[in-house]
Amino acid sequence: MKKINVLGLITFFVLVLVNLPFLVIIPSSFTAAGYLAFPPEGFSWQWYEMILDRPEFIDSLWISLKLATVTAILATFLGTLAAFALSKYKFRGSGIINALMLSPLTVPSLIIGISALLFFTRIGIAGTFTGLLLAHMLISIPYVVRLVLTGLSSFDYTLEKAGYMLGAHPFRVFWDITLPLLRPAIVSGMIFSFLTSFDNVTVSLFLVAPDTTTLPLAIFTYMQETLDPLVASISSVVILLSLVFIVLLEKVYGLERLFGLNSQSH
């Protein structure tokens, strides 16, 4: 029993450490003082009201939300289609296509960011929403493909066959049988894409212009100049938003299964 207690103690310590940033940020956002302090001094909403006076944060929040939503929808659509082809058909080159679909995971974000900037500059979409969207779709697609492929690997195709035998149209079979059964995998792919896009910094860093700055980047830039409780209040808003999606992911799919993906988010 003693061994378990030692392990338990270390585990508790590590869990506190990885969650420490949030345990510190949220309280300090309510400080009444004019500077960053933990434990916070007094209580006030002033730093949340202050956000309203900073249009760059509000604007970047909208950009991030819009970007993450469109990324999630398009990446899930493209990734799901490809996963269907990879799972349903045996064809020459499927191994290569599969490897290519997952390859953005294995290349450092830095390289993805630089090369995208190079290319987008040449075709004239550097700094635009479209450029950001394409890059975010690129880094989200591997997760969708992996999640949907995993879902399809345990998929019982006899159910589809049964549908056909009962005379259903292929579209009807897809809509009433295939899709509902794969819903957890597809929805998880969508939520994970949303989070990947919403939290991304390293790829976006190279691709944003002042009017397309995303929220994490606005915080990153602000942090390099000033450290005040405003960062804490904005961060708390992001934490809250992300938490909603994390709880959704856990409910739909399970975080442990998700991270078995060998994800690379930095």
Q: Comparing C-alpha atoms, which of 108, 128, 135 is closest to residue 208?
A: 128
Q: For another protein, what does the binding mask look like between residues 37 and 76, x meaning CB under 8 A?
A: xxx-------------------------------------
Q: Comparing C-alpha atoms, which of 18, 16, 25, 43 is closest to residue 230?
A: 25
Query: In angstroms, what is the minimal distance from the CB of 32 to another protein?
Result: 16
H/E stretch holding 18 reads helix 2-28
Q: Contacts with another protein in 129-168 (CB under 8 A)?
A: 134-135, 137-138, 141, 145
Pick the binder of another protein from 206, 213, 230, 233 (CB under 8 A).
206
Pick the binder of another protein from 216, 230, 233, 253 (CB under 8 A).
216
Query: In angstroms, what is the minimal distance from the CB of 156 to another protein?
Result: 21
Please state, in angstroms and as integers, the Cα–Cα distance from residue 9 to each residue in 2, 15, 29, 68, 245, following that order.
11, 10, 30, 38, 29
Query: In angstroms, what is the minimal distance from the CB of 149 to another protein?
Result: 12
Pick the binder of another protein from 103, 159, 161, 211 (CB under 8 A).
103
Query: In angstroms, what is the minimal distance from the CB of 74 to another protein?
Result: 9
Regarding 230 and contact with another protein (CB under 8 A), the answer is no
Query: In angstroms, what is the minimal distance from the CB of 210 to another protein?
Result: 14
Query: In angstroms, what is the minimal distance from the CB of 165 to another protein?
Result: 20
231, burial (CB in 10 Å: exposed 0-12, middle 13-18, buried 19+):
buried
Using CB under 8 A, count the residues that bind another protein. Answer: 92
Are the beta carbons of 265 and 216 closer than 8 angstroms?
A: no
Among the listed ranges 45-53, 161-169, 175-183, 223-231, the one in contact with another protein (CB under 8 A) is 223-231
Please state, in angstroms and as integers, the Cα–Cα distance from residue 222 to each residue in 11, 232, 262, following that order.
34, 12, 31
> Could you give the CA distance from residue 182 to residue 159 in angstroms, rounded to a whole number?
13
